[in-house]
Chain A
């Protein structure tokens, strides 16, 4: 790639890439997101390349290369979102989507789809007896509105030319040459874009506060420390469309007068780190990052910091401390990050998805953005749909879409025909929502009223077999483990709450435990130093609110209504089915089973340690658990 030095050269290169992209008569997009890669998609890519070379079909040609006629564009794309069905291969222009593809399928794909132009029906997605050849027709995709993830899965994430080929860096160019910094801030403020990382704070407000500061240098920081268990939206954007996020950060740099951008990425996302490094290197090589970009006088440098495994670093002041090389511990606010942020300088801190929203807002205007979803929290939101749901994956819907649409229309309902029980939204800082909330619109304000938060957008669906007390214990275990220990309410409060929850699920709950949990929750929520502590009690409070009877059953009857808590299980032998073989008694580690051979055996509940060895070893299915 040769460096481009002027706006005209950028326009010319983009034109060339767009034209080349159009000339590719056919594209094969092999999903190279983390999910599909672990399913072997890179081997499929290699096999496709080899097969096409054997057949003499030109593929994998760089977009700017000449000539570009009769080329099949074979690309490693970002995440398509339908992770449950991976590895995925998409064929364009028809939009055929092949699911659960194996290396052995490659010959047939090339022969029929590439050489004959026919779909391979047996690889198409099937639901309720209907075969869906085209990706867009699949119910999972039909109800989605993909704006942020629009190009994730459409382009090769490792190539800046591909990004230019879909009109990339046009918003940056506009911001650099056609707009004043104040206009950019105004456009973002007018759009009502709210931060996608948790609290939903208005991005425009942050930007204008930083733009106003006289202190220099200023910094743009991108929070890619997506630590909520059960969330992977930001990972997919970083892996699948990294330039879109970089472009948003660069625009923020122009708007606020900053010349350095820092991206803080979780260490658990090695592929995202690699793709971002490639993207930054390519942007530097082209001259879109660095000194005096396109001769405009504006300079911008991009840095990557890898996290080292601390959930609390998702909190703004902890994150900046971590970039500074310190322990990631939050500090008392104010002063806020916009005044005293990274290296004690004014800092814009937004998350990945927020920055990915910036470029289209500048190109299409604030009014366009506000036309999507409710006016107070416009735009779309990406959600990671996981748990006991049919179609696991990454989805994007307009704000205000109901939970019912997300879970049942897009998600395809609960796995294995089970009943829906609850959905945990917002991770360990969020809360659970139940059947009565199914028609609740998903937006910042409605969720807050219901006692949950959007958080970064994890939606973990739980079925009737999930014990809500155990879910609360699980989240408290997580938060307690991640508490940095700086403030007493969070350090001690979460520990005590965890102890109480542990004794409840172990069948040692006492009368008054629920009230004690509520009291501790109230104290921690009101007195903790940072967001982690302030929201730590969310799962406990919401599960008590909606599933108090489950807590009571654990405490008073020593019974788990969902039958999930191991220590509360009761093993019994069905005398009708027991043949008296004595195998269970021989396998019982505590000699709790007795009986005479050829007569039904009995389990002594007072000795039983609920290990389940009897059940695992019974050849007649006579041991019942409940």
Chain B
């Protein structure tokens, strides 16, 4: 982690969103979008710049589901397990992906840092159930077989 660069970029976001407490979530979102996770090194820096204590920042960063303190894979696959997807059998898709990538509920990212598999409560794409997203792009009407084919396709692309 290039800490100097991290602080520099963070300064840029602090300048555009502001240094008040109300900007904290937006700043954390910007950091996460850039690095795909929240490097812990940024917390003391933010605490100083925003005049908050580090615990407050850590509290916010761990409260919200979208923030991650661990680096994610190149392809973040989010399997929707909202009600509509669930009743149209999204769990077998999740299980298949985890089985193929040797992941489980605790281990979400592959060792080669290529894939992260997570669930999401609802993408609001219920008409396309069961759905999953790869780096934000929605894939509709999935099946375990289609999910395996998708992995192969992503591996070729990588």
Question: B24 near A325 (CB under 8 angstroms)?
Answer: yes
Interface size, chain B (Cβ < 8 Å):
40
Q: How far is the CA of A81 from the CA of B120 in the complex (A)?
A: 22
Closest residue of A by beta carbon distance from B122: A229
Is B67 engaged at the interface, CB distance under 8 Å to the other chain? yes
Closest residue of B by beta carbon distance from A484: B63
B29 to chain A, nearest CB (A): 6
Choose among B21, B24, B125 the residue with the greatest number of A CB atoms under 10 Å from its CB.
B125
Is A269 engaged at the interface, CB distance under 8 Å to the other chain? yes
Question: B128 near A38 (CB under 8 angstroms)?
Answer: yes
Q: How far is the CA of A460 from the CA of B87 in the complex (A)?
A: 8
**Which residues 16-38 of B sit at the A interface, judged by CB distance below 8 A?**
20-26, 28-29
B96 to chain A, nearest CB (A): 12
Question: A392 near B122 (CB under 8 angstroms)?
Answer: no
Given contacts A34-B124, A83-B127, A466-B87, contact A308 B64 (CB under 8 A): yes
Question: B83 near A34 (CB under 8 angstroms)?
Answer: no
Question: B136 near A270 (CB under 8 angstroms)?
Answer: yes
Q: How far is the CA of A39 from the CA of B67 in the complex (A)?
A: 29
Question: B122 near A35 (CB under 8 angstroms)?
Answer: no
Question: B65 near A308 (CB under 8 angstroms)?
Answer: yes
Chain A positions within 8 Å of B138 at CB level: 34, 37-38
Choose among B21, B65, B138 the residue with the greatest number of A CB atoms under 10 Å from its CB.
B65
Is B42 engaged at the interface, CB distance under 8 Å to the other chain? no
Q: How far is the CA of A125 from the CA of B129 in the complex (A)?
A: 20
B17 to chain A, nearest CB (A): 10
Interface size, chain A (Cβ < 8 Å):
55
Is B147 engaged at the interface, CB distance under 8 Å to the other chain? no
Q: How far is the CA of A105 from the CA of B66 in the complex (A)?
A: 39
Question: A230 near B122 (CB under 8 angstroms)?
Answer: yes
Q: How far is the CA of A228 from the CA of B60 in the complex (A)?
A: 22
Is B59 engaged at the interface, CB distance under 8 Å to the other chain? yes
Given contacts A270-B136, A388-B87, A424-B83, contact A308 B129 (CB under 8 A): no
Partner of B126, one of A232, A310, A388: A232
Given contacts A308-B29, A323-B22, A325-B25, contact A393 B64 (CB under 8 A): no
Partner of B65, one of A228, A305, A306, A309: A309
Q: How far is the CA of A226 from the CA of B125 in the complex (A)?
A: 12
Chain A positions within 8 Å of B123 at CB level: 34, 268
Is A324 engaged at the interface, CB distance under 8 Å to the other chain? yes
Q: How far is the CA of A460 from the CA of B122 in the complex (A)?
A: 13
Is A574 engaged at the interface, CB distance under 8 Å to the other chain? no
Partner of B127, one of A86, A229, A328, A466: A86
Chain B positions within 8 Å of A582 at CB level: none
Question: B65 near A325 (CB under 8 angstroms)?
Answer: no
Q: How far is the CA of A325 from the CA of B21 in the complex (A)?
A: 5
CB 8 Å contact bits of B28-63 with A (1 = contact, 0 = none): 110000000000000000000000000010011001
Chain B positions within 8 Å of A38 at CB level: 125, 128, 131, 137-140
CB 8 Å contact bits of A219-241 with B (1 = contact, 0 = none): 00000001111111001000000
Choose among A38, A228, A235, A466 the residue with the greatest number of B CB atoms under 10 Å from its CB.
A38
A496 to chain B, nearest CB (A): 20
**Which residues 58-109 of B sit at the A interface, judged by CB distance below 8 A?**
59-60, 63-67, 81-84, 86-88
Question: A35 near B83 (CB under 8 angstroms)?
Answer: no
Q: How far is the CA of A86 from the CA of B23 in the complex (A)?
A: 39
Chain A positions within 8 Å of B113 at CB level: none
Is A84 engaged at the interface, CB distance under 8 Å to the other chain? yes
Question: B25 near A83 (CB under 8 angstroms)?
Answer: no
Closest residue of A by beta carbon distance from B63: A327
Closest residue of A by beta carbon distance from B27: A325
B103 to chain A, nearest CB (A): 18
Partner of B124, one of A269, A306, A475, A484: A269
Closest residue of B by beta carbon distance from A394: B127
Q: How far is the CA of A35 from the CA of B124 in the complex (A)?
A: 9
Is A316 engaged at the interface, CB distance under 8 Å to the other chain? no
Question: A387 near B59 (CB under 8 angstroms)?
Answer: no
Supply 10 A–B pairs (Cβ within 8 Å), ascending by A: A35-B127, A83-B127, A230-B84, A231-B126, A307-B66, A323-B22, A325-B20, A325-B23, A327-B64, A328-B64
Q: Shortest 6 CB-CB distances between A and B: which pairs?
A: A83-B127, A309-B65, A229-B82, A386-B84, A308-B64, A38-B138
Q: Which residues of B contact A (CB under 8 A)?
A: 20-26, 28-29, 56, 59-60, 63-67, 81-84, 86-88, 120-129, 131, 136-140
Given contacts A268-B124, A393-B127, A394-B127, 17 further A-B contacts (CB under 8 A): A35-B128, A39-B128, A39-B140, A83-B125, A83-B127, A226-B124, A266-B124, A270-B136, A308-B25, A310-B64, A324-B21, A324-B22, A384-B84, A386-B129, A387-B88, A387-B129, A458-B126
